[in-house]
């Protein structure tokens, strides 16, 4: 089973705290990989929050291909940052030749276009690059969005952190929202794309447990949006559902919970909004989560959310101090970085609630 | 007139063959053979009767509804001792024997009722596998008719499919006894989420207008069997069971009326909500239904427009005059005669038209509050039909019921029963995958029937169909069997067309109907449903699902490669 953890903090943080949480929870994963999405960036990307940031791992040939494509589309390179990667043979990590993090300026024609059109351009561009590099087998494109950085690597998380110098507190990668996962690779071939957190149009999500409705979810999502693609991991489905419910349908976030874990019919029938809930259940029956899953997600406005499956088969805990809220699969992860917090105030989200952490770091518990 | 052939066999011949018997007189043995007269070898069942143990009570003869047994007197020779100095002599007794009647009007159906009632176990029907029935039974130029089910279906595909994906570690199995299972399915037209009439008001979704009617029902429905095809008591037992399951166990099982209407008392009671009213091409019973509308206190669960039936696709309904008793005439509003529903709805020549006319008028009749579904026979063309309905622009097609070749019927021509029709599973899969390809799965729920529960294991059959994409299944014969029907797929009984059902299930003869204990039949059906409900949970729990796994074909494997490939599920050996 994967272990997941996320931090939402008032002040910018390096990746070290999430890594510490991962190490604390390492009994639950097999050290086969580490993936991280950083949002609300600071550090080296601080001054470029409005510019889309491309996160990519590739070969030099792959970079050349991507460069050409970006040129053709009219994107202008604004900032190029490459992490120093420790080449030591001793580290258990399957390095890619290049790790590319670049800010681009929008093509001229798009600079004054409405956000909706720019969003579409960014997604289409990412998908096109991904396809290009997949076809030539020259690399992976993870995200292309303002103020969002993605790193996914195969290997032992400690060694990955070592190689990328992620342990250092004083370092270029800093963010106020960090989501990370260490993987337990049970079902799928080790594919970089299969590592969560997954990101799409401002929505980040990671989860654990197996998605028993993976096939149903995937069959349905494939036709909903061309950006719902890949499906290398069954957890991707949870992201697409989040995106569909909140972004495409424009439903308030609490309906995500109604879609993924609908109320039992008897309970539903007792509610005044039963007709609406029943319609939602019918229309979204193929988006349900029916297995043992916990999801932690981040919305485009920076709010963090946590939800469990309807039987609460997977644990998750939310702890906090004055400066940060932390969600993790296991309480030992939270203890690791917030040992002095008031643990009585920890929240163990129930099967019928949605926990939302807003921008003022207030932890709200919304009953379904 | 039976033709007689006298066969003279000369002595030479007898010697040569070695099996002849020479008469004392020295004349050659002469056999008189009525070769075209019907004989026990012609018929599918032979009666084995044991004269030694039979106590001559007559129960078998009295019980056989087909008059296939006759008492007759039999002369029996025996040796006796006579005289003061005893010497053997021949004597004879005349005693009663039971004889099988071997004519087309009264041949034995193998129903086994005689065996059931015999107190000494002295009589039983034995299948006569090498009978000549098909070549003798078309006498008078009339095709063979039969009720029941098809007999010539090779293999049973459902049994080659297993639930092969078992949750174990990362996705734990559930506990069928402890967890809550949400086993309802939607009957009615579903809108895609982005077409739902909803708007956000104060952070909540509120309804802004009409959306198609939809009911959450139990995924196993009782298929359409009419009062007429069934005895009124059998129909009553089904209706009672459904009422009981709903009211006492809160299991929202729905039952389809079949073509032929319903008693007004039921139409105007609250129990109408558990009934799906059928309209077929004969429109039988609709006069009463329409007249009862102003008195209805609730809506029916749905309306089912029957276009076709799996057991005899392309053929209309048939209720032989023998079964059109007075009460049937009253319910259906017809005289005493053979009742034939036309093979198609007169005036509907295309799917588009059927959507517009039939669906609209049925929807309008109940003011768009009741889902209107359609039932067709599975066919090579099912996907096109389904597709046309999926595109229904008015959102008024509330369900697609598809019936396969293994479905049953009250009466049909044998040639149709055995030789026409389409197995259900591949068409279910095709239709579901077609909906998937369009991103429209679930918008028109697919319900399938035809052979579900044939081996008695309805839960397993239903579960597999659901994983293949069905929103639910409908079953019928199994409930008759639970009530006491003795018919099977290998030719036992299947005399539903004769009006002589030996167990009172599909006859209107009051003396036969009296054989059926309504309460016991209803109780058995209730018990069966409760067991099926447990069994469904026992199948859902190991795959870790508490909601119906509609379309979760990854849970299935087949041990038959061809089946696995055709249904796009895993092959395992
Ligand atoms: S098996 Fe049925 S049909 Fe045949 S003789 Fe016995 S009672 Fe009559
Ligand atoms: S017992 Fe009755 S219902 Fe069953 S097959 Fe025979 S005639 Fe038909």
Per-residue pLDDT at B19: 47
CA end-to-end span of chain A, whole Å? 26
* Residues B443/B192, Cβ–Cβ less than 8 Å: yes
Q: Which residue has the tokens 């003061």?
A: B84
Residues of A in contact with B438 (CB under 8 A): 223
**How is chain A split into domains, by residue range?**
3-49+147-204+312-367
Q: Which residues, numbered 405 to 464 in chain B, qualify as contacts with chain A under a Cβ-Cβ cut-off of 8 Å?
A: 436-439, 441-442
* Residues B435/B402, Cβ–Cβ less than 8 Å: no
Per-residue pLDDT of chain B (573 residues; tens, 9 = 90+): 333 333 333 444 444 444 444 444 555 555 666 777 888 899 999 999 999 999 999 999 999 999 999 999 999 888 899 999 889 999 999 999 999 999 999 999 999 999 999 999 999 999 999 999 999 999 889 999 998 888 888 889 999 999 999 887 767 788 888 888 999 999 999 999 999 999 999 999 999 999 999 999 999 999 999 999 999 999 999 999 999 999 999 999 999 999 888 999 999 999 999 999 999 888 888 888 999 999 999 999 999 999 888 888 888 878 888 888 888 888 888 888 888 887 777 666 676 676 677 788 888 889 999 999 999 999 999 999 999 888 888 888 999 999 999 999 989 999 999 999 999 999 999 999 999 999 999 999 999 999 999 999 999 999 999 999 999 999 999 999 999 999 999 899 999 999 999 999 999 999 999 999 999 999 999 999 999 999 999 999 999 999 999 999 999 999 999 999 999 999 999
Per-residue pLDDT at A1: 59
Task: Give CA–CA dist B227/B223, Å, rounded.
Answer: 13
Give B499 Cα–ligand 1 centroid separation in angstroms. Answer: 15
DSSP string, A149-161: EEEEEEB-HHHHH
Per-residue pLDDT at A208: 86
Which ligand gives the minimal distance to the CA of B491? Answer: 2
Residues of B in contact with A1 (CB under 8 A): 170
DSSP H/E element including B135: helix B133-136
Give B322 Cα–ligand 2 centroid separation in angstroms. Answer: 15
Per-residue pLDDT at B347: 64
DSSP string, A6-51: EEEEEEEE-SHHHHHHHHHTGGGS-S-EEEEEEEEEEETTGGGTTS
Task: Give CA–CA dist B43/B129, Å, rounded.
Answer: 9
User: Smallest CA–CA separation between A264 and chain B, in Å?
Assistant: 6
Q: What is the ipTM of this complex?
A: 0.91
Pocket mutation for ligand 1, best pick of B43, B48, B64 (most atoms within 8 Å of C-beta): B64
Topology given in CATH for the domain delimited by B37-142: Alpha-Beta Plaits (3.30.70)
Paired tokens of B500 = 């002589």
Q: Which residues, numbered 234 to 263 in chain A, qualify as contacts with chain B under a Cβ-Cβ cut-off of 8 Å?
A: 244, 248-252, 254-255, 262
The helix-helix angle for A60-73 and A115-136 (nearest 10°) equals 150
The beta strand positions in chain A, using DSSP E, are: 3-13, 33-43, 52-58, 76-81, 98-105, 139-146, 148-154, 173-182, 198-200, 203-208, 294-298, 304-308, 317-320, 324-328, 353-357, 363-367
DSSP H/E element including B472: strand B472-475
Q: Is B545 on the interface with A (CB under 8 A)?
A: yes
pTM of the entire predicted model? 0.92
Cα dist from A189 to A32, A186, A192, A291, B556, whole Å: 11, 8, 9, 21, 22
B553/A215 Cβ within 8 A: yes
Superfamily of domain A3-49+147-204+312-367: Aminohydrolase, N-terminal nucleophile (Ntn) domain (3.60.20.10)
Please list the ranges in chain A whose pLDDT falls under 70: 1, 28-30, 184-190
CA end-to-end span of chain B, whole Å? 60
| Test mutation, A218, A267, A280, A291, chain B, max B CBs within 10 A | A291
Query: Where along chain B do the CATH 3.30.70 domains lie?
Result: 37-142
Paired tokens of B135 = 């070549």
Which ligand gives the minimal distance to the CA of B500? Answer: 2
Task: Give CA–CA dist B173/A216, Å, rounded.
Answer: 18
State residue B526 phi and psi, 5-degree precision: -60, -50
Dmax (CA) for chain B in angstroms is: 118
Task: Give CA–CA dist B452/B223, Å, rounded.
Answer: 11
* Residues B444/B191, Cβ–Cβ less than 8 Å: no
Task: Give CA–CA dist B25/B20, Å, rounded.
Answer: 14
Task: Give CA–CA dist A364/A347, Å, rounded.
Answer: 10
Question: Which one of B182, B200, B214 has the shortest CB-CB distance to A264?
Answer: B182
Count of alpha carbons within 13 Å of B526, Cβ hemisphere only? 19
Architecture of domain B157-182+218-544+552-571: Alpha-Beta Barrel (3.20)
Per-residue pLDDT at B15: 45
A276/B205 Cβ within 8 A: yes
Cα dist from A109 to A75, A144, A146, B65, B235, whole Å: 10, 18, 18, 88, 72
DSSP H/E element including B417: helix B414-419
Task: Give CA–CA dist B436/B290, Å, rounded.
Answer: 38
Query: Where along chain B do the CATH 3.20.20.70 domains lie?
Result: 157-182+218-544+552-571
Q: Is A274 on the interface with B (CB under 8 A)?
A: no
Give B502 Cα–ligand 1 centroid separation in angstroms. Answer: 9
Give the residue, by CA position, lying nearest to ligand 2 atom 4.
Answer: B485
Cα dist from B252 to A340, B218, B221, B526, B532, whole Å: 54, 5, 9, 12, 14
B182/A220 Cβ within 8 A: no
């Amino acid at each position: 089973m994967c272990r997941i953890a996320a931090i939402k903090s008032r002040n910018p943080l390096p990746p070290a705290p999430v890594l510490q949480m991962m190490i604390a929870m390492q009994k639950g994963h097999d050290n086969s990989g580490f993936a991280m999405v950083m949002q609300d960036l600071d550090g080296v990307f601080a001054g470029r929050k409005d510019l889309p940031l491309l996160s990519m791992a590739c070969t030099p040939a792959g970079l050349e291909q991507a460069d050409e494509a970006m040129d053709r589309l009219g994107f202008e390179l604004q900032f190029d940052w490459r992490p120093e990667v420790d080449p030591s043979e001793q580290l258990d990590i399957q390095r890619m030749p290049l790790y590319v993090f670049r800010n681009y300026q929008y093509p001229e024609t798009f600079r004054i276009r409405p956000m909706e059109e720019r969003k579409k351009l960014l997604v289409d561009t990412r998908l096109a690059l991904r396809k290009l590099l997949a076809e030539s087998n020259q690399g992976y494109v993870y995200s292309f969005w303002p103020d969002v950085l993605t790193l996914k690597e195969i290997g032992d998380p400690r060694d990955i952190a070592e190689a990328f110098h992620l342990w250092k507190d004083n370092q270029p990668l800093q963010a106020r929202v960090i989501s990370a996962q260490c993987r337990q690779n049970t079902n799928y071939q080790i594919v970089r794309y299969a590592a969560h957190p997954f990101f799409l149009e401002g929505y980040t999500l990671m989860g654990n447990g197996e998605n028993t409705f993976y096939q149903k979810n995937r069959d349905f999502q494939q036709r909903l949006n061309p950006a719902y693609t890949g499906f290398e991991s069954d957890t991707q489905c949870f992201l697409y559902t989040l995106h569909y419910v909140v972004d495409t349908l424009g439903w308030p976030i609490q309906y995500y919970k109604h879609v993924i874990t609908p109320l039992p019919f008897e309970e539903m029938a007792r509610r005044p909004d039963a007709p609406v809930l029943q319609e939602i259940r019918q229309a979204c029956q193929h988006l349900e989560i029916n297995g043992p899953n916990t999801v932690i997600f981040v919305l485009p406005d920076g709010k963090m959310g946590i939800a469990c499956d309807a039987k609460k088969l997977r644990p998750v805990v939310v702890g906090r101090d004055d400066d940060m809220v932390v969600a993790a699969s296991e309480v030992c992860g939270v203890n690791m970085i917030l040992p002095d917090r008031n643990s009585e105030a920890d929240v163990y989200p129930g099967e019928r609630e949605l926990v939302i952490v807003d921008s003022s770091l207030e932890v709200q518990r919304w009953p379904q | 007139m039976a033709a007689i052939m006298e066969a003279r066999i000369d002595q030479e011949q007898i010697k040569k063959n070695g099996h002849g018997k020479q008469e004392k007189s020295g004349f050659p043995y002469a056999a008189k053979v009525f070769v075209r007269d019907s004989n026990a070898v012609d018929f599918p069942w032979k009666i084995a009767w044991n004269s030694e143990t039979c106590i001559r009570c007559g129960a078998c003869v009295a019980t056989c509804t087909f008059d296939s047994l006759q008492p007759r007197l039999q002369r029996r020779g025996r040796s006796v001792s006579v005289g003061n100095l005893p010497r053997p002599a021949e004597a004879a007794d005349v005693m009663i024997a039971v004889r099988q009647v071997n004519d087309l009007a009264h041949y034995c159906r193998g129903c086994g009722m005689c065996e059931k009632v015999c107190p000494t176990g002295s009589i039983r029907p034995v299948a006569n596998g090498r009978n000549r029935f098909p070549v003798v039974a078309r006498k008078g130029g009339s095709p063979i008719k039969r009720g029941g089910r098809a007999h010539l279906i090779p293999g049973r595909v459902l049994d080659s499919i297993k639930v092969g994906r078992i949750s174990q570690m990362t996705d734990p199995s559930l506990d069928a006894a402890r967890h809550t299972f949400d086993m309802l399915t939607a009957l009615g037209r579903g809108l895609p989420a982005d077409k739902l009439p909803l708007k956000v008001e104060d952070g909540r979704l509120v309804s802004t207008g009409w959306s198609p009617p939809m009911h959450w029902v139990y995924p196993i429905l009782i298929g359409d069997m009419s009062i007429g095809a069934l005895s009124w008591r059998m129909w009553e037992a089904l209706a009672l069971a459904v009422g009981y399951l709903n009211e006492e166990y809160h299991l929202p099982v729905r039952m389809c009326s079949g073509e032929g209407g319903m008693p007004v008392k039921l139409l105007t009671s609250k129990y109408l909500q558990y009934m799906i009213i059928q309209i077929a091409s004969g429109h039988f019973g609709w006069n009463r239904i329409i007249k009862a509308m102003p008195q209805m206190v609730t809506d029916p669960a749905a309306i089912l427009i029957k276009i076709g039936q799996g057991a005899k696709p392309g053929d209309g309904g048939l209720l032989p005059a023998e079964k059109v008793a007075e009460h049937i005439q009253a319910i259906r509003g017809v005289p005493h005669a053979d009742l034939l529903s036309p093979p198609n709805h007169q005036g509907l020549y295309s799917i588009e038209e059927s959507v517009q006319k039939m669906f609209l008028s049925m929807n309008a009749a109940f003011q768009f509050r009741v889902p209107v579904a359609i039932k067709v026979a599975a066919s090579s063309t099912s996907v096109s039909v389904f597709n046309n309905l999926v595109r229904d622009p008015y959102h008024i097609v509330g369900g697609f019921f598809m019936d396969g070749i293994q479905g049953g019927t009250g009466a049909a021509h044998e040639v149709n029963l055995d030789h026409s029709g389409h197995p259900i599973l591949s068409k279910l899969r095709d239709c579901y995958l077609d909906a998937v390809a369009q991103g429209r799965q679930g918008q028109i729920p697919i319900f399938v029937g035809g052979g579900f529960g044939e081996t008695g294991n309805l839960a397993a059959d239903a579960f597999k169909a659901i994983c293949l994409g069905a929103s639910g299944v409908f079953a019928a014969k199994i409930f008759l069997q639970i009530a006491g029907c003795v018919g099977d797929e290998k030719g036992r009984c299947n005399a539903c067309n004769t009006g002589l059902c030996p167990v009172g299930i599909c006859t209107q003869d009051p003396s036969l109907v009296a054989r059926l204990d309504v309460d016991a039949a209803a109780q058995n059906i209730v018990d069966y449903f409760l067991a099926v409900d447990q069994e469904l949970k026992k199948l859902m729990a190991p795959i870790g699902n508490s909601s119906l796994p509609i379309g979760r074909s990854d849970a299935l494997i087949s041990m038959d490669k061809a089946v696995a490939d055709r249904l796009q599920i895993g092959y395992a050996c």
